[in-house]
Structure 1
Amino acid sequence: YSAAHAGSLFDAYADSDEPTVIGPEGFERLCSDMDISMEGALPLILAWQMSSSEMAKISKVEWEKNTTEL
């Protein structure tokens, strides 16, 4: 694990209008890049694992906390 790598990974998926959040489009790209189909339970499990307070959105704080714990 590298905090710098996790941060750059977050930045790659972050919303251009709100850079402290991975929004729905970024979340969908993240799932696609991980070969996770948007159909079924896996995106929900990912959101739960990241402690997302909103579906298909991951804040930078949630990302940093949960990637550190993984």
Structure 2
Amino acid sequence: MSSNASVSTYTVSGMSCGSCVGKVKAGIGELSGVDGVDIDLATGRVTVTGAIDDAAIRDTVENLGFALVQA
């Protein structure tokens, strides 16, 4: 991890199955600076590790058809 790595937690609404989780995880995982993505489908909680750009994460989640709420 880089020295400016951090951990942020978000809530994503609209995920209803493993396929949804896979899409969100892959989309966020492709963003520059993201080291890891962990998703709990039951709660909609998404934990992202790395040099995080909140706007890029929001745009990615919304472009995939879901809604992001900062936790």
Give your verdict on TM over 0.5.
Answer: no
TM-score, length of structure 2 as denominator length: 0.31
Judging by fraction of residues, say which structure has more helix.
Answer: 1
Judging by fraction of residues, say which structure has more strand.
Answer: 2
